[in-house]
Amino acid sequence: MTQATLSLHDGDLALPVRTGTEQEVGIDITMLRGSTGAITLDPGYGNTGSCLSAITYIDGEAGVLRYRGYAIEDLASHASFVEVMYLLIHGELPSAAQLSSFKSQLSLHTLLHEDMKKFYEGFPPRAQPMSVLSAMVASLSTYYDAEDDLNFVRMLAKLKTIAAFSYKKSIGQPFIYPRNDLDFVEDFLHMMFAVPSERYEVSPVVRRTLDMLLILHADHEQNCSTSTVRMVGSSGADLFSTISTGISALSGPLHGGANTAVISMLRAIRADGADYGKYVAKAKDRSDPFRLMGFGHRVYKNFDPRARLIKAAADRLLEELDRTDPLLDIAKNLERVALEDEYFIKRRLYPNLDFYSGIVYRAMGLPTSMFTVLFALGRLPGWIAHYKEMRENRDRLHRPRQIYVGSTLRPYVPVSHR
Ligand code: CMC
């Protein structure tokens, strides 16, 4: 086995080097503190591998993304979201019999306990659907036994019901119950857009596009929300409580919330006369907090493969629906101007999956407030796969260290002397 040598305090320590199946190299420092008293410092964990994982492979330099060894482009063109859920969680694509039994399990567990509907009455009318989603998912843990094997299926089946009910609540329409005769994505669209007074037909092109978008969001190895899930899950917390923390982590604008922020940015640029140069200059100005939302990624230093697929889907969907979206033109022009700019070239900043996803959601008639909820629906099988892997591998409690930089010991001063 290859070793790395660390020289510290006049001594050398041999550290084992672990190589993954795609030849990724990691220096194993498990013994570091015990042997030397020192720790590593890596704010934001940009250089830290927190686990061994067999779920998703990313090569950010080459723009490669694979789930369980399958290229994202292949899965996006040929698989369904339900197959991808199964693949991520169980490690293999399902056989026809496995797929059919998985689908029927997913339809059998879509209903919420009737009492849970009352929770929606307590949320204010303008409640953010992501906050409602997180709260509702956490409350599932009050209904089901923590160790029940059915919880994975329950979580997968119920999240879309919770999501659609949150939307209905936000617009004051009655909840539409799940229908077992519809497939996963059709059922979600039906619960979102149907009303009791009218017939609603799910558009096949919208169904197909949403299915693909969910596949593209399904996992992304140790991103902020997935690491949160592994962190919280490592304490032994139950599945529902753990997933609700993943939803909270995803809601931030630097993570899943970026898809909403991109649309606000594109709207602002349009209202300001579509002066792309001005906004690119703002993004480059260190004294200005503005960033080009939907641009840049911690891991991709090349095109995010998901962004290419989503951009093509946006073009296809608008064409099939015979619609145009001025924000799509703004986005394409902004991308062109940014990609020709030295600042973005030097830092290798490219559009990420959030840059075009909002355009697709808009074309489907989904409101901006639901964009990040859609991301959560897509990311759920990834969170579950990591939770399951972490438990099966019996990962240790996640508990990072720190370098303390506060005051040294000082005596307590009574309030009368301060
Ligand atoms: N606009 C302008 N400058 C940027 C941007 C941007 N969107 N992203 C990074 N930079 C600059 C940054 O200022 C820094 O410059 P310098 O070296 O001069 O200090 C350099 O590029 C490196 O940036 P960083 O902040 O160290 O990179 P990071 O890996 O910590 O951040 C990121 C990654 C995604 C948080 C960041 O690129 C960003 O804020 N992007 C906008 C938000 C966004 O689109 N988020 C969605 C991410 S993809 C979906 C997901 O996985 O959640």
Q: Sketch the domain layout of the chain as residue ranges.
A: 3-64, 73-248+372-392, 258-363
**What pLDDT does 1 receive?**
66
CA of 295 to the centre of ligand 1 (A): 7
**What pLDDT does 125 receive?**
82
CATH, domain 258-363, list 3.40.50.850, 1.10.230.10, 1.10.3720.10, 3.30.1490.100 = 1.10.230.10
Distances (CA, A) of 351 to 108, 210, 285, 295, 310: 39, 20, 19, 4, 11
Q: Whose CA is nearest to atom 44 of ligand 1?
A: 294
| Catalytic-role residue among 187, 211, 304, 354 | 354
CA of 299 to the centre of ligand 1 (A): 10
d(CA 360, CA 15): 48
* Identical topology for domains 3-64 and 258-363: no
- Give the pairing of strands 3-8 and 11-19: antiparallel
* Residues 21 and 56 sit within 8 Å (Cβ to Cβ): no
**What pLDDT does 2 receive?**
85
**What pLDDT does 177 receive?**
97
**What pLDDT does 176 receive?**
97
CA of 350 to the centre of ligand 1 (A): 10
Domain boundaries 3-64, CATH class: mainly beta
Q: Whose CA is nearest to atom 30 of ligand 1?
A: 298
- For 373-403, the DSSP string reads HHHHHHHHHHHHHHHHHHHHTTPPPP-----
Q: Which of 350, 352, 353 to mutate to test the pocket of ligand 1 (most atoms within 8 A of CB)?
A: 352
Q: Which ligand 1 atom is at minimum distance from the Cα of 262?
A: 44
Q: Is 354 a catalytic residue?
A: yes
Q: Which of 48, 227, 247, 297 to mutate to test the pocket of ligand 1 (most atoms within 8 A of CB)?
A: 297
d(CA 360, CA 208): 12
Q: Whose CA is nearest to atom 27 of ligand 1?
A: 298
Residues with CB under 6 A from ligand 1: 220, 223, 254-256, 258, 283, 291-298, 347, 349, 352-354
**What pLDDT does 57 receive?**
98
CATH code for the domain defined by 73-248+372-392: 1.10.580.10
Side-chain-side CA neighbours of 346 within 13 Å: the count stands at 4
* Residues 109 and 148 sit within 8 Å (Cβ to Cβ): no
CA of 66 to the centre of ligand 1 (A): 23
d(CA 384, CA 162): 17
Does the pTM exceed 0.85? yes
Type of residue found at 391: R
pLDDT (tens digit, 0 to 9) for every residue of the chain, 418 residues total?
689 999 998 899 999 999 999 999 999 999 999 999 999 999 999 999 999 999 999 999 999 999 999 999 999 999 999 999 999 999 999 999 999 999 999 999 999 999 999 999 999 988 888 999 999 999 999 999 999 989 999 999 999 999 999 999 989 999 999 999 999 999 999 999 999 999 999 999 999 999 999 999 999 999 999 999 999 999 999 999 999 999 999 999 999 999 999 999 999 999 999 898 899 999 999 999 999 999 999 899 888 999 999 999 999 999 999 989 999 899 999 999 999 999 999 999 999 988 999 899 999 999 999 999 999 999 999 999 999 999 999 999 999 999 999 999 999 999 999 9
Q: Whose CA is nearest to atom 52 of ligand 1?
A: 255
